[in-house]
Amino acid sequence: MPSSRSRRRLSARRRLVLATLLVASLGAGPAPAQATAPAPFALEHDSTLSAAARTAPGTNLLVAGIDRRSGLTREQIRDLHVGGKECDCTDVMMLVHLAPDGRRLSVVSVPRDSYVPFAPHAHPAHSGKINGAFQHGGPDLAVRTVERATGVRVDHYLQTDFGGFASAVDRLGGAEVCTDRPLTDPKSGLRLAPGTQLLDGRGALRYARARKVSPPGDLGRVRRQQRLLLGMVDRLARAGTFRDPLALVNAAQALAPYVRTDSGTGLGTLFSLGWSMRKLTPADMEFATVPMSAFDHRVPDWGSTLLWDRARAARLFAALREDRSITAEATLQAVPVAMEPSRVAVQVDDADVAEALRRSGFAVTATPAPAVRAEGPTVIVYDPRRERYAAALAAALPGAELRPVAGHGDLLRVTVGTKGRDVAAVTYDRSMVEGAPATGEQLRCR
């Protein structure tokens, strides 16, 4: 007589066979889209993609959220809080890499104002904000432009709009997010109390679109979008959805009507991807934002744009191509600071520490060293009005004690202690402060 463990294995095998047959009966073609959505498109790779990238290990998805309100009633627009003029461009762009063994999921957010060369299309060759590629040439141009900019092959394309996103979240049972402070954004309609919350589709959309909460702007919003994706995947994983073939079929069917895909991505693909993720834990998921070198690069016709840090972005995308962990990529781990070091005026009583701080760009004045060093850590004295400046300096002086003193003035004074002569290299990059490589375990709700 079979043991209980054998019976469980047999039952699981039968459920997998049944699920596979069900997927096959539904067809392996493109996922059914909403009635108003355009037909799937044939995915083509950019001509600049290297041979190594075309055969690189793993599976890569481009997930796009479109700023589109077409098909929504006035009541729906009010309910979702998505008033305003649509741009018919990508509001969200995530490049997702799944390792061949399903043991790691890497998500890299591409800020929508990134200034990049567009892939060839009907217009003369030009660059622009990456979110405009969709507007210029639909998903085909969006995919090829991402491939051209990153050197990473895109295997599957998933697209949704405001209404589709909210409906998909509802059909999948909601998304779990958390915050240690109230989050309120009148423009997106977000009102979130401290603690862990299970958001419905409407709440998830408001959370994903919020820009007027801390940290503000698109870069802070990108990290919240990553947390939202993590919350959805983690909740489905804890519910056993990825390990239960029939539950996974149901989830794929629930998602399919609200996403547009390329012609090679169907229910079978969604099922296969979900099944590959059945052993993932939050520690196996990692998230990052493309590193930046400039945050207000002005371009005629495009306005304020973001420039990528070419060297660090290249290393990030090389890690994706080569199926390496982005959180383990040492060259991406320079300490990021949100204040440009050249704006931080510092007085230091140690010549070696002063020189090391200068190498990171701080505006340093050295003063004579004391005859006897004070026991203990290095101390940074600063005016409370200069808190952001002090935080940037503290990142370069591990273990330093921050000591606010009202009326101290603009100059920050560093007194080096016997336990604090180490200096860390820092880099000015708000995208890394808010979007540095991090695991799902570090970002998840607890």
pLDDT of residue 49: 97
Percent of the chain residues past pLDDT 90, beyond the cut? 67
Strand partners, 363: 345
Q: Provide the CB-side half-sphere exposure for 4 (13 A, CA).
A: 0
Condensed to tens digits (0 to 9), the pLDDT of residues 177-189 reads 999 889 999 989 9
pLDDT at 375 over 70: yes
89/40: higher pLDDT: 89
In this prediction, residue 29 has a pLDDT band, given cuts at 50, 70 and 90, of low
CATH 3.40.630.190 fits 4-333+433-443, yes or no: yes
pLDDT at 17: 57
Q: Give the pLDDT mean for 97-119.
A: 96
Confidence tier at 394 by pLDDT (50, 70, 90): very high
pLDDT tens, position by position, 195-219: 999 999 999 999 999 988 877 678 8
Q: How far is CA 250 from CA 41, 76, 198, 281, in A?
A: 25, 26, 20, 21
Strands (E), 240-372: 260-261, 285-289, 292-299, 303-308, 335-337, 345-348, 363-366
Q: Is there a contact between 429 and 271 (Cβ–Cβ < 8 Å)?
A: no
The pLDDT of residue 36: 46
pLDDT at 71: 80
Q: At what angle do helices 217-238 and 201-209 cross, to 10 degrees?
A: 150
For residues 243-260, give the mean pLDDT: 90
Average confidence score pLDDT of the chain? 88
Strand segments (E) across 276-349: 285-289, 292-299, 303-308, 335-337, 345-348
CA angle 63, 438, 429 (to 5 degrees): 90
pLDDT of 32: 54
Domain spans, the chain: 4-333+433-443, 337-424
pTM over 0.85: no
The rounded percent of the chain whose pLDDT value lies above 70 is 89
Let me know: does 152 contact 165? Beta carbons within 8 Å: no
The answer to whether 357 and 346 are in contact (CB under 8 A) is yes
Given a contact cutoff of 8 angstroms between Cβ atoms, the answer to whether 115 and 129 are in contact is: yes
Predicted confidence (pLDDT) per residue in 60-91, tens digit? 999 999 998 878 888 988 888 888 888 889 99
CA atoms within 13 A on the CB side of 171: 19
Q: Mean pLDDT across the stretch 376-399?
A: 95
pLDDT tier for residue 25 given thresholds of 50, 70 and 90:
very low
- What pLDDT is recorded for position 334? 65
Per-residue three-class SS string for 50-85: CHHHHCCCCEEEEEEEECCCCCCCHHHHHHHCCCCC
Inform me whether the pLDDT recorded for 333 exceeds 70: no
- The lowest-confidence range among 27-31, 321-325, 395-399, 414-418 is 27-31
Measured over the CA atoms of residue 161, residue 60, residue 137 and residue 271, the dihedral's sign is: negative
* More reliable by pLDDT, 383 or 435: 383
Residue 165 has pLDDT above 70, yes or no: yes
The identity of residue 143, as a single letter, is V
- According to the model, what pLDDT value does residue 304 have? 95
The per-residue pLDDT for range 279-301, each reduced to its tens digit, is: 999 999 999 999 888 888 999 99
pLDDT of residue 27: 47
What is the per-residue pLDDT for 420?
74
pLDDT tops 50 at residue 35: no
